[in-house]
Amino acid sequence: MRPLIGITCDYCSDNNSIMLNSDYYLAVYKAGGQPLLIPYIDCDDEFSLVSLLDGIMFTGGDDIDPVYYGEVPHPKLGKINPIRDEFELKLCRLALEENKPVLGICRGVQVMNVALGGTLYQDLEEELKTDTLVKHRQSAPAWYATHLVRFEAGSRVNLIFGQGSIRVNSFHHQAVKEVAHAFRATGWSSDGVIEVIESDKYKFALGVQWHPERMFVRDRAMLLLFISFVEACKACG
């Protein structure tokens, strides 16, 4: 039986709707999971859904309100989504408390980090002082890899991909800054930006800054990440 995997969606306050790029649930299904889109309901009872799920994937989207990591908005802060922020940060904490497998993608890795006390660069170009900053908002197609990410030897992400580095796509202007106590950084771009966080404290807690769901059709290695996540979810079912 396929493990039931909840996937967070983007919340649109203008028409009170949710949206999700199909690549997310297709990647989960292709990896052997049964995707379930998680709705936004302003009710604490919604979090009882966590006990029914075998794992949760946190997806990409808007910037997180810096109030959640003790900062005021930077002039380059992008659009924020207050309802989504509150919902996902609570959901992430609860999922990890119950030791449910968690996979974070782009905004999702940032949600994981902030949920447990970490901080973010609100804008890399303004806040990261380096002369070698990688272009983290690519102009190339989403499936195309534009920069390298190197992995910590022996880390979960290293073992998943079976190599010390991979090329990835890139669509972000924020990134993990101070890593939350429960995580450690295990992947970096050449400019030192954290691209992967993970934890040995939980059954499966891994976040990546790139978008593997946009790449897996053309780059089959990217499916390995989803397969590893789904296998961890099966073990919880």
- Report the DSSP beta bridge partners of residue 36: 6
> Catalytic site residue 172?
no
Domains in the chain, please, with CATH?
Answer: 4-236 (3.40.50.880)
Question: Which residue among 88, 195, 198, 213 is the active-site one?
Answer: 213
Active-site residue flag, 74: no
211: annotated active-site residue: yes
Q: Which residue is catalytic, options 92, 195, 211, 233?
A: 211
pLDDT digits (tens, 9 = 90+) for 186-227: 999 999 999 999 999 999 999 999 999 999 999 999 999 999
Q: What is the pLDDT of residues 118-142, one digit of tens each?
A: 999 999 999 987 878 898 989 999 9
Q: What share of the chain is helix, strand, coil (3-state, %, to 5)?
A: 30, 25, 45
Q: Which of 88, 106, 172, 233 is catalytic?
A: 106
DSSP class per residue in 131-164: S-----B--S-TTS--EEEEE-TTSHHHHHHTSS
pTM of the model: 0.96
